[in-house]
Amino acid sequence: MTAKQPAALGDETPTRVARAAAMALRLARHRDMAITAIAGALLLAGYLIELSAGSRTPLVWVLYGGCYLVAGTDVLRNSVRMALKLQFDVDLLMIIAAVGAAAVGHPEEGGLLLFLFALGHGLESYALGQARKAIEALGRLAPATARVRRRDGEEVVPVETLRPGDVVVVRGGERMPVDGEVREGESDVDQSPITGESRPVQKAPGAEVFAGTINGDGGLVVEVRTLASETLMSRMIRLVEEAQEQRSPTQRLAERFTRVFVPFVLVFTGAIIVVPPLAGWLEWDVAFLRGMTVLVGASPCALAISTPAAVLAGIGRAARNGVLIKGGMHLEELGTVVAVAFDKTGTLTEGEPRVVSLRPSEGVAQAELLRIAAAVESRSTHPLAEAVVRQASELGIAFDPADEVQIQRGRGLEGMLDGVRVRVGSARLFTEGEGAAPLPAAIASTVAEIEQSAQSVMLVALGDRFLGVLGLADRPRAGVGEVLEDLRSMRVEHLVMLTGDNPPVAEAIAREIGITEVRAGLLPEDKIREVRGMLDRYGRTAMVGDGVNDAPALAAATVGVAMGSKGTDVALEAADLALMSDDLAKLPFAIGLSRATRRLILQNVIISMGVVCALIPLGMLGVTNVAWAVVLHEGSTVVVALNALRLLRYRR
């Protein structure tokens, strides 16, 4: 037995080390609250011993000193660092007030001040931590590994090693490790972590899936389309992390106010301490205590936390509901918009038009018309171009991509096919610019007829000969009319469609969804002009779009809103918000959240400054003392922090 005892003790040693390490980690995570607990215990012990002994014994002073040391070290370090930069903050006010209380024989009140100040900081950290957890949880959604199909079987590998074209197997109940396209299998997928959709979405071969979403009961085989660092989830996390670093207008204003207000409080407190005794109104010790009371009451701690806590909670709540907001400034500004400009294709409509009319010229076969059009449009990523290419592929029409294709912005494409110039685009491509000429009568008649059917027109010319006309149609997004009514009910009354499409098509879509203002036939620079005009006429204006041609207008608007999952990278970069599910119903939610955030910030400012404005005269008149000033001051800080957390449960 004894021979085994050392081995048993040796086995316990790693366990003890592990336990100690785990305890140290927990303490590090809850450092602020640990400091508060220790300082509170020292303060309480000193007070009870003083109460029982009837005097301040050396032990009482040691306990009070320990409370000062534990609770005040971080505060002192920060205040000294800021003071060396000639920047004075609330930490300096707290240190001066605590030392002043001890200097006039009230160390228990100074200890109480530092204890409650530490408690307030701890609760602030908790409130901000809760808001950050809602954001950091996004980063834990996507799996770290994926099951890759190889020639000789399946292999589990880190997602960072995956490349486009790899094929992964996702079993029932697992999270998607990648962004990709389903190749085999059918299943319902819960996309709420990414898009906020409340119901699972049916996925079948050809459907798009996103990393972090949850597979249902069916197994799926998915082809990887993007690197792990460029998945929709990764982009969401990056955008939210960047948003945390930005300051909202209210927060910047509060910081500027604090930088001016703190030195004013120091001078004002000095006047309260010095002037009344010199004038014979108060004794020195009474004036000093009143000065310390004013110093505590005037410290704008609650004001400093009121805005960042609310903004962080609002950004976190938005991210959990499929809305990415790139910073506090944009979160606040969204709630002020009174007008919204919408791109049409891919925003108000599904963005997947189809070829519904093929009208070749005399002597031209439909297949030949479609082949020539697809040869040029295959070089473009525009939704109308993709519709032409898709139609040709579905009909089994083979084509070779055209060469030397050039984009004529807002008009169409030009290229070379077998050494002959090919032009594909709207009527403006042929009637405006260099080489413009009127359309042949037959072609003009066909164009007018197709436009009357609310179809987008695409003319095709090979050399100087018109081969015919294609008509393409897109459908409004499901529920878009209800979204527009919802916005009007929120007093966002000016809703305008901006599109490069021709007027008859744009107006037909607008009538169907309930938009009364339409600006059609616009080039990208025209959209900027229209957005700026709306800013002049209506005031704060949001722009919603998804394409490269929308990016300038998104940047020009008060708030730019991009369609997140199908929007181009350029649009996402230019925008201030992204709707990750491409669901316009998230726009009223985001505006409502912004307004709720602004209301909470206002409430917090009123609470924090209300307490300050009340405590200053009460302290000057001697109605309240340092202890009560500390309780009310730190209490307002806690109330402000907890009030901000209500945004994490916001629902519209």
**Would you kindly state where each structural domain of the chain is located, as residue ranges?**
29-139, 145-229, 354-473
Confidence at residue 102, expressed as pLDDT on a 0 to 100 scale: 85
Tens of pLDDT, residues 52-79 = 988 899 999 999 999 999 998 888 888 8
Average pLDDT of every residue of the chain: 84
The CA-based diameter of the chain, rounded to the nearest angstrom, is 114
Give the residue carrying structure tokens 């519209």: 652
Confidence at residue 428, expressed as pLDDT on a 0 to 100 scale: 86
Average confidence (pLDDT) over 242-261: 73
Q: Known catalytic residue: 343?
A: yes
Average confidence (pLDDT) over 28-42: 80
Between residues 5 and 320, the one the model is more confident about: 320
Confidence at residue 128, expressed as pLDDT on a 0 to 100 scale: 57
- 3-state helix/strand/coil string of 191-225: CHHHHCCCCCEEECCCCEECCCCEECCCCEEEEEC
Distance CA 483, CA 405 (A): 39
Q: In 3D, which of 465, 470, 445, 444 has the Cα closest to residue 455?
A: 470
The number of CA neighbours under 13 Å toward the Cβ of 417 is 24
Question: 20-34, 539-553, 563-577, 638-652: lowest mean pLDDT where?
Answer: 20-34
CB 35 within 8 Å of CB 71: yes
Q: For residue 268, count other CB atoms closer than 10 A to its CB.
A: 17
Question: 202-211, 427-436, 607-616: lowest mean pLDDT where?
Answer: 427-436
pTM for the predicted model, two decimal places: 0.67
CA–CA distances in Å: residue 445 to residues 227, 441, 452, 462, 488:
49, 6, 11, 19, 39
Q: In 3D, which of 240, 228, 225 has the Cα closest to residue 142?
A: 228
pLDDT category of residue 524 using cuts at 50, 70 and 90: confident
CB 306 within 8 Å of CB 605: yes
CB 34 within 8 Å of CB 25: no
pLDDT category of residue 396 using cuts at 50, 70 and 90: very high
Give the residue carrying structure tokens 């041609």: 549
Q: For residue 81, count other CB atoms closer than 10 A to its CB.
A: 12
Confidence at residue 397, expressed as pLDDT on a 0 to 100 scale: 93
Distance CA 107, CA 56 (A): 10
Buried b (16+ CB within 10 A) or exposed e, 616-627: bebbbeeebbbb
Q: Is the pLDDT of residue 165 over 90?
A: yes
Question: 119-123, 168-172, 530-534: lowest mean pLDDT where?
Answer: 119-123
pLDDT category of residue 4 using cuts at 50, 70 and 90: very low
Confidence at residue 2, expressed as pLDDT on a 0 to 100 scale: 41
**Which tokens in the block code for residue 130?**
């809760």
CATH assignment, 354-473: 3.40.1110.10
CB 498 within 8 Å of CB 530: yes
Confidence at residue 11, expressed as pLDDT on a 0 to 100 scale: 47
- 3-state helix/strand/coil string of 268-279: HHHHHHHHHHHH
Average confidence (pLDDT) over 226-240: 71
Distance CA 628, CA 631 (A): 5
**Which tokens in the block code for residue 446?**
């066909």
Q: What is the dihedral of CA 576, 578, 579, 580, to 10 degrees?
A: -160
Confidence at residue 138, expressed as pLDDT on a 0 to 100 scale: 55
Q: Is the pLDDT of residue 27 over 60?
A: no
pLDDT category of residue 309 using cuts at 50, 70 and 90: confident
Q: For residue 118, count other CB atoms closer than 10 A to its CB.
A: 26
Share above pLDDT 90 across residues of the chain, in percent, rounded to a whole number: 40
Q: Is the pLDDT of residue 368 over 70?
A: yes
Distance CA 99, CA 92 (A): 11
Confidence at residue 19, expressed as pLDDT on a 0 to 100 scale: 61
Distance CA 434, CA 258 (A): 61
Buried b (16+ CB within 10 A) or exposed e, 290-300: bbbbbbbbbbb
Average confidence (pLDDT) over 620-634: 85
Q: Which residues pair with 181 in a beta bridge?
A: 208, 223
Distance CA 553, CA 541 (A): 11
Confidence at residue 353, expressed as pLDDT on a 0 to 100 scale: 82
Distance CA 304, CA 258 (A): 8
Give the residue carrying structure tokens 């000062």: 68
Residue 353 class from Cβ within 10 Å (0-12 exposed, 13-18 middle, 19+ buried)?
A: buried
Q: Is the pLDDT of residue 243 over 60?
A: no
CB 346 within 8 Å of CB 566: yes
Distance CA 311, CA 300 (A): 18
Between residues 388 and 575, the one the model is more confident about: 388
Distance CA 309, CA 326 (A): 16
Between residues 470 and 307, the one the model is more confident about: 470
Residue 498 class from Cβ within 10 Å (0-12 exposed, 13-18 middle, 19+ buried)?
A: buried
Tens of pLDDT, residues 455-464 = 889 999 999 8
Among the options 32, 166, 343, 486, which is catalytic?
Answer: 343
Confidence at residue 205, expressed as pLDDT on a 0 to 100 scale: 92
* 145-229 placed in CATH 2.70.150.10: yes
Q: Is the pLDDT of residue 609 over 80?
A: yes
